[in-house]
Homo-oligomer: A and B are copies of this chain.
Amino acid sequence: MRPIDDSPLTRDGKVLILAYDHGLEHGPVDFEAVPESADPEHVFEVATHPAVTSLAVQKGVAEAYYPDYAEDVTLLAKLNGTSNLWMGEPDSAVNWSVEYADEIGADSIGFTLYGGSNHEIEMAEEFRDAHEAARERDMPVVMWSYPRGQGLKNDKKPGTIAYAARQALELGADVAKVKYPGSPEAMEEVVEMAGRTKVIMSGGSKTSDREFLETVKAAMDAGASGLAVGRNVFQRENPEAILDGLEEIIFEESSVETALAATEQ
Stretch at the interface among A9-17, A24-32, A246-254: A24-32
Residues of B within 8 A of A193 (CB): 23, 28, 31, 38
Whether A64 contacts B196 by the Cβ 8 Å rule is: yes
A159–B29 CA distance with the chains assembled, in angstroms = 8
Q: Of the candidates B27, B87, B151, B171, which one forms a contact with A85 in the assembled complex, judged by CB atoms under 8 Å apart?
A: B151
> Which residues does chain B contribute within 8 Å of A171, judged by CB atoms?
24, 58-60, 95
A226 at the interface (CB under 8 A from B): no
Work out how many copies of this chain go into the complex: 5
Interface 1/0 per residue, A73-92 and B, CB below 8 Å: 00000000111011110011
A65 → chain B closest CB, angstroms? 7
Secondary structure at the A interface, as helix, strand, loop or mixed, is: helix
A151-B58 contact, Cβ under 8 Å, with A132-B100, A162-B28: no
> Are A124 and B95 in touch, CB under 8 angstroms?
yes
Point out the residues of chain B lying under 8 angstroms from A64, CB to CB.
2, 169, 195-197
A33 adjacent to chain B (CB < 8 Å): no
Q: Is A125 an interface residue (CB 8 A)?
A: yes
Which of A112-120, A205-213, A229-237 is the contact stretch?
A112-120
A167 and B83 within 8 A (CB): yes
Q: Is A67 an interface residue (CB 8 A)?
A: yes
Contact A163 B65 (CB under 8 A): no
Q: A151 touching B87 by the CB < 8 A rule?
A: yes
> Is A138 at the interface (CB under 8 A from chain B)?
no
For this complex, into which size category does the number of interface residues on chain A fall? 35 or more
- With a 10 A CB-CB cut-off, give which of A67, A152, A170 has the most chain B CB atoms: A170
Q: Which residues of B contact A67 (CB under 8 A)?
A: 1
Interface residue? A40 (CB, 8 A): yes
Nearest CB on B from A3, distance (A) = 11
Closest 6 CB pairs of A and B: A85-B116, A93-B124, A60-B172, A87-B151, A27-B163, A24-B170
Q: Which residues of A contact B (CB under 8 A)?
A: 1-2, 21, 23-24, 27-29, 31, 35, 38-40, 58-61, 63-65, 67, 81-83, 85-88, 91-97, 99-100, 104, 115-118, 120-122, 124-125, 127-128, 131-132, 135, 147, 149-152, 159-160, 162-163, 166-173, 189, 192-193, 195-197
